[in-house]
Amino acid sequence: MIKIGIELNHVVRNINKQILKYYKKDYDYSLNIEDIDEKDDAFKYAKFDSLTDKNEFIYIDYPYELYGCAKTMDKDLPMALNNWLSELTNYEDDEVEVSFFSLNEEALTIQSSFFFLSKIGTRVRSVIFPKTIEEINGKYDVVIAGSKEILDFFGNNNSVYTICISNIMNKDCKFNDRYDSLIEAIKDENMLNVLHDFVNNKIKKVVTDGE
């Protein structure tokens, strides 16, 4: 079995756009959102006096607006994802299990994320909200991520195939493969074969090492 974990933020959900939108609304109306690349770190522009103020903005003032009302990274992504999940059932070389995950969520953001997932009509069967990266270490053979934190953690892990979804924040990260978007990744007909070979070679190595 190939177990694939897909990060929500920066891969599926365009949270940066929401952060900038509501920061402008409450903190800096002069901020020109149109001039900011949505694939850059929103908090380079949405600046707070303290971590407390930042967390209040995310987890108390606007959890629903940021996590629930965000759009997908690409307009056609929900349909493309569901089509891909359907195609996976016909992949003869291996069974493929897909899950979403999202770090740094709590209370109202988790509720809002479930709303986001229902809104986009996803057919992914599971989603987890780990408190730390360590909680998902060992859960996946493949991690598809956009955040620097995730890529830095898994990029040096030889037992996990790391796929980077490009943005300005992760340009210096380590990874096994890179795509401009999740749509581009799932439309790559060769990707599953590469993942199948990786997982099987990893299993053979473990068996060999065990002997």
Give the pLDDT of the chain (211 residues) as one tens digit per residue.
Answer: 899 999 999 999 999 999 999 999 999 998 999 889 989 999 999 999 999 999 999 999 999 999 999 999 999 999 999 999 998 988 877 899 999 999 999 999 999 999 999 999 999 999 999 999 999 998 999 999 999 999 999 987 778 999 999 999 998 898 889 999 999 999 998 998 899 888 888 766 555 554 4
Tokens of 39: 């694939």
pTM for this entry: 0.91
Contacts of 131 (CB under 8 A, 6+ apart): none
Q: Where is 163: in which H helix or E strand?
A: strand 161-165
pLDDT at 210: 47
Task: Please count the other Cβ atoms lying within 10 Å of the Cβ belonging to residue 2.
Answer: 21
Tokens of 130: 């780990």
Phi, psi of 177 (to 5 degrees): -155, 155
**From the candidate CATH numbers 3.40.30.10, 3.40.50.1000, 2.40.30.110, 3.30.460.10, the one assigned to the domain spanning 2-13+71-210:** 3.40.50.1000
Smallest CA-to-CA distance from 148 within 3, 47, 43, 46 is with 43
* d(C-alpha 95, C-alpha 196), whole Å: 10
**Any alpha helices (H) in 76-107, and if so which ranges?**
77-88
Tokens of 205: 């190595």
pLDDT at 14: 96
Phi, psi of 72 (to 5 degrees): -75, 160
Secondary structure letter of residue 91 according to DSSP: -
In angstroms, the Cα distances linking 157 to 36, 83, 164 are 33, 30, 14
Q: Are 144 and 4 in contact (CB under 8 A)?
A: yes
Q: Are 39 and 168 in contact (CB under 8 A)?
A: yes
**Any alpha helices (H) in 32-134, and if so which ranges?**
51-56, 63, 77-88, 108-119
